[in-house]
Structure 1
Amino acid sequence: MTYSGAVTVGGPAEVHELADLMISKAAVGPMNNNAYLLRCRTTDEQLLIDAANEPRTLLALIGDDGIKSVVTTHRHGDHWQALAEVVEATGATTYAGRHDAEGIPVPTDVLVDDGDTIKVGRVELTVRHLVGHTPGSIALIYDDPHGHPHVFTGDCLFPGGPGRTTRPEHFESLMSGLEAKVFVLPDETWIYPGHGNDTTLGAERPHLGEWHERGW
């Protein structure tokens, strides 16, 4: 089945099969959060991005092989409701941005900063710190050597614009970070957001000026 990135709460996960990495996307309620399970195709090691909610759903997605690590993209509560139960069941190492970890009630084992790398088997993800939606939000970039980049943006970038900000200076900070650290990637770059459907940078790039003008 061709991967579309369109998933629904209570529905099946969709799997994006890359040469070195398998990406399974599932939606959980009640806020239609996306959780992403990454599996290295060489070692079978797994990593979960955002244990958002519905621990049973996520543990079923993970399966008997377990996960080595779980990354929380930012401190907002809808992105870590299942974290404690997933960690207890799997013994996974927890990762989060240095400036958001204090807002996540499950202890963070590894604090990450801009430019750090997180490994899942032989696959490397590059951390990008984006300030604005929260102080310590992170995006994860997988620069596929066999194709185009893939970016897990949390709530920093969606189809149609950046994530929610509450002050003009926060909006400008988020936009500056996205333009300097994400939109430098090619148009083919696939974007996996924290809620809703996927997009590409090519689909969003023509609208950067509109976003600046509207201020959100």
Structure 2
Amino acid sequence: MAYTGAVRPGGEPDVRELSRLRVTKVAVDPEMSNNCYLLTCLDTGEQVLVDAAAEPGTLLPLLGEGGLSTVVTTHQHWDHHRALADVVAATGAVVVAGAPDADAITEQTGVPVTRRVGDGDTVQVGSTELRVIAVAGHTPGSICLVHDDPDGHAHLFTGDSLFPGGVGATFGDDDAFRQLIDDVETKLFGTLDDDTWFYPGHGDDSTLGAERPHLAEWRERGW
């Protein structure tokens, strides 16, 4: 069956084969319905997990015999790293996070952040890589990850910074909203093409082209 990105907690993962990576999307926790993404290099088998959000009993079996080299935590909010300690203990994976959020992640999980990243840094997935884009506002150290498929379009993992229908929550903080909408508009929509497929931290996927016409509307409504 073709990949849709429509997953629900307790349901089966959805799997997408790109030219260099396999993307396995799974939803965890019926209350929060977080998305977790296992990225597998099709050349080397090396694997990276984006957000060990919850349910290690769901996440660890996805690894198969490939192990796990890295866990990327997209931001410091509690619902995105509840399984981090268990996943790292089981795999020995390196932990990557945005530098401004790293201390909070360690305080909340007890897991040291091995590598603090920012704009332009890269995360290796075997023979390919993910490019880091820092997008502040939802949290100070939120990061997005881009895989530039050489045989297709870009694939963007947005955490809670961008969703179909709007940017992430800023909890009534006007300055944080302006920071987030500015970063999303300039760093994501301003640099990536409309056919970029994005994978958010909750809910269904979308493309930048589908969302671009609504940017002014989002800015005007203030959330």
Shorter chain as denominator, the TM-score bin is over 0.9
TM-fit CA distance, 1:65: 1.6
The answer for the alignment partner of 1:134 in structure 2 is 139
The answer for the alignment partner of 1:63 in structure 2 is 64
TM-fit CA distance, 1:72: 0.2
- 1:187 and 2:188 matched: no
Alignment gaps of 5+ in structure 2: none
The answer for the alignment partner of 1:204 in structure 2 is 211
Q: How far does the alpha carbon of each residue in 1:86-132 deviate from its partner, in whole angstroms, 9 at most, with x for none?
A: 00000000000000011113210000011101100011100011110
**Aligned pairs (5 A) from 1:91-106:** 91-104=92-105, 105=109, 106=111
**Aligned pairs (5 A) from 1:6-85:** 6-29=6-29, 30-85=31-86
TM-fit CA distance, 1:198: 0.3
TM-score (normalizing by structure 2): 0.96
AA of the residue aligned to 2:15: V
- The farther-off stretch of 38-47 and 60-69 is 60-69
Q: 2:149 aligns with which of 144, 148, 153?
A: 144
The answer for the alignment partner of 2:4 in structure 1 is 4
TM-fit CA distance, 1:61: 1.2
- 1:90 and 2:69 matched: no
TM-fit CA distance, 1:179: 1.1
- 1:165 and 2:170 matched: yes
TM-fit CA distance, 1:169: 0.9
Percent identical across equivalent pairs? 58
AA of the residue aligned to 1:83: L
- 1:115 and 2:104 matched: no
Secondary structure at the residue paired with 1:31? Answer: coil
TM-fit CA distance, 1:64: 2.4
AA of the residue aligned to 1:116: D
CA distance in 1, matches of 2:219, 2:115: 34
CA distance in 2, matches of 1:113, 1:186: 22
Secondary structure at the residue paired with 1:124? Answer: strand
CA distance in 2, matches of 1:20, 1:154: 22
Count of matched residue pairs:
216
CA distance in 2, matches of 1:195, 1:152: 11
AA of the residue aligned to 2:216: G
Task: Say what the alpha-carbon RMSD is for the aligned residues.
Answer: 0.7
Secondary structure at the residue paired with 1:126? Answer: strand
Provide runs of 4+ in structure 1 moved above 6 Å: none
